[in-house]
Amino acid sequence: MVNSHSHGPDPTDPAVIDVHDFRSAGSMKRISRTVPAAPDLGNAVITVPEDSPIEVDLLLESVIEGVLVSGTARMSATGDCSRCLEPVILPAEFDFSELFAWQEPPPEEISDTDEPLPLIQSGLIDLSPLLRDAIVLGLPLAPVCEESCPGLCVECGIKLADDPGHRHEVTDPRWAALGNLHLPADDGPT
C-alpha cells in the first residue's frame, strides 16, 4: 500500500518489509507475519474475504542486484462450488518468488521483452502486488466442494449428492411421435 503522500510504501503496513540494513550479498533472513487481505482479492467465482488473515512465511536473500523474496502464503478463500452451487470455504496455499532491485538498471541493459523488476523504495519492499499476483493467479476458476461432487441434474436442477439414484425416463426423440398414437383396444383374436 502506498501512503497518501506518495513517498513510497507505508512502513507500518504488515505487507511492507524493511530491508534498510540488508545490503551485504549472501545474507539471509526468515520472516513470518500475518497480512490482512486486500479488497477484491480473487476472481469471479472465488475470493479471499477482505481483511481476512493471510499467513506469510518469507525467506529474504540479499544479492548484488537487490533482495530475492521467496515464500508461501496461506489463507482461506470463499465462493460457490462450480458443480452444485453450494457455498465453499477452501484452504489455499501459494508459493511465490520475486527479485526486488535496489535501483533501476541502466537503459542499455533493459530489453523490450523484459518485465521491469519491482524496486526497493526507501529501503522498503511492498509485498502487496506480489501477493495479489500469486493469489489471483493461483485461485481455481472452477472451485468444487469436493472432487467427487456430482453437481446438479441437468433436467430438473436437483442436487445429485442428495439423491444418488436420481434419473429421468429418457425417450429417444426419434420415437417420441409414437407416444401420441392411440391404438384400438385389443379384444383378442378376430
Segment 62-95, tens digit of pLDDT:
998 899 999 999 999 999 999 999 999 999 999 9
Residues 17 and 58 sit within 8 Å (Cβ to Cβ): yes
The pLDDT-based confidence of 109 (bands split at 50, 70, 90) is low
Is 129 domain-assigned? Answer: yes
Which H or E run includes 34?
A: strand 28-36
CA dihedral 49, 55, 61, 62 (to 10 degrees): 60
Q: Is residue 122 part of a domain?
A: yes
Cell triple for 64: 548484488
85's grid cell: 452451487
Q: Looking at 43-151, which runs of residues are DSSP E strands? A: 46-48, 53-62, 66-80, 87-101, 124-126
Q: What's the pLDDT band for 163 if we cut at 50, 70, 90?
A: confident
Q: Compute the half-sphere exposure of residue 120: CA atoms within 13 Å on the CB side of its CA.
A: 23
116 band by pLDDT with thresholds 50, 70 and 90: confident
* 81, part of any domain: yes
148 domain-assigned: no
Determine the structural domain holding residue 57 and report its residue range.
Answer: 16-138
Q: pLDDT higher for 140 or 109?
A: 140
Q: What is the pLDDT averaged over residues 123-141?
A: 93
For the chain, the domain total comes to: 1
State the Cα torsion 40-45-48-51 to the nearest 10°.
Answer: 50
Q: What local confidence, expressed as pLDDT, does residue 189 receive?
A: 65
d(C-alpha 176, C-alpha 142), whole Å:
37
Would 68 be classed as within a structural domain? yes
Is residue 3 included in any domain, yes or no? Answer: no
Alpha carbon distances (Å) from 74 to 2, 71, 182: 23, 10, 67
CA triplet 4, 121, 22: central angle to 5 degrees?
135
Amino acid (one-letter) located at 37: A
Is there a domain that residue 78 lies in? yes
